Amino acid sequence: MMTPILAARTALGGSLIRHRRNLRSAAELTIGGAWGLPQLVFLVPALRILLLVLLLVPCSGVPADGAEEFVRQSIRARGMGNAFTAIANDEFALYYNPAGLQSVQVYMFELASLQGTANQKLIDLVGNALETASNEELADSFSDVAGKRYYAEGGLSGLSITGPGWGYSIFANAVADIAVNNPTVPFFDVRVYGQIGALTGVGYSLMDYELDVGVAIKVVRRIGVQRTFHIVDFAPALKGEFDDLIDSGSDVTAYAPDAGVIYHYDRYHDFPLKFAAVAQNIGGLDFDKAGEVPMTINVGASTEVEMLGFDVTFAADELDLLGAQDTERDKSYVQDLKLGVEAGLFKLFNGHHLVSFRFGRNGVYNAFGFSLNVFGLKIDYAQWSEEVGSFAGSQEDQRQAIKITLIF
């Protein structure tokens, strides 16, 4: 027997789908009628099986490039392998697909959030440093540092609002991504920056609520550096001369719009599908010596079903169709394939579930995450891996992130 809450939520989901059906016009029958082919009856169960198989079966190694450049990450999305283009129904819709603003059902007021991310090598380094008892041991351990990459990120946001059809967000974050090379004469591949930014966007529904479209604009100021440093580059700094180090970086403000679409295929009550596409950072965000966030085109699909009282969402994305993130090698469709599933229980007043569990595949690597949402205090955790080697599966960089948010 269903509880009153579950019965109400089931009725609400059915009424939304019926609302879309009742609003269809004669134009929809001529333009979209071809979608209702009988063959889709056989595709629905096949799609469910395909999504589950792709999540469980490992992918083979093929050429790929390093980790993606981004403005801001969703810990929820990372726990799902970063498959979020067609979901995009929370305060991160502005960052992933502004068309998803039309899927936001309640107003979300993000008063403040604090986020931290670190890779496993940095966590191990800090742990070992705390156990180191002498300078001799520290010197002996430097050879273990060489050849490794260390990543850390911290972020703040607040006073942001996301509602049905519109939203804005304010954020600040800092990233340190450093690879140490050659233990004899060390040199360092460095990407270090701090940035602040703001986004705003709107969404709108067309074709009797079947097609959602959205646009957003972001402005980001970044201060930082991205280059290779040799040990001799630090010699002037040891003498108190910092001009060369300061000149090696940039302080740049950049602007870029996003544009996205989401098509709702609701002809099957128990299997509503969404197909999405988005162009992010149109024209690119060029921060000169502090790096660049290129324009990317992403596509995705998702569906939400109810199982044993849980809202279960399946999602699949193919990111960066044009290979803009791959600057030195051909695009890797395997590494850019993102797959995820989320199970949430009891959606609360702030638009998030009381508790959620997530699993995914970020290219060839697994991802996991969960959320706990109590009285407006929301805690998100994710664990995933990035590819930082020359091809998918060659060099795994394990990362963990946690975010604490006050959201109402």
pLDDT computed for residue 229 by the predictor: 85
Instruction: Answer for the pair 231, 237: CB distance below 8 angstroms, yes or no.
Output: no
Distance CA 263, CA 153 (A): 34
Residue 70 reports pLDDT greater than 80: yes
> CATH number of 4-407: 2.40.128, 2.40.160, 1.10.1740, 2.60.120?
2.40.160
Instruction: Determine the pLDDT at residue 45.
Output: 43
What's the confidence (pLDDT) of residue 325?
82
Q: What's the rounded mean pLDDT across residues 123-150?
A: 70
Distance between CA atoms of residues 229 and 300, nearest Å: 39
Residue 52 — left, alpha, or beta (φ > 0 → left; ψ -120 to 50 → alpha)?
A: alpha
Domain boundaries, the chain: 4-407
φ, ψ (nearest 5 deg) of residue 322: -90, 0
pLDDT tens digit sequence for 149-158 = 999 999 999 8
Model pLDDT for residues 188-206, shown as the tens digit of each residue: 889 999 999 999 999 999 9
Q: For the residues 166-172, what does the mean pLDDT come to?
A: 96
Poorest-pLDDT segment among 112-116, 123-127, 141-145:
141-145
Per-residue pLDDT tens digits for 6-65: 344 444 444 444 444 443 433 333 333 333 333 333 334 433 433 443 333 333 333 334
pTM of the model: 0.81
Assign 341 a pLDDT band (cuts: 50, 70, 90). Answer: very high
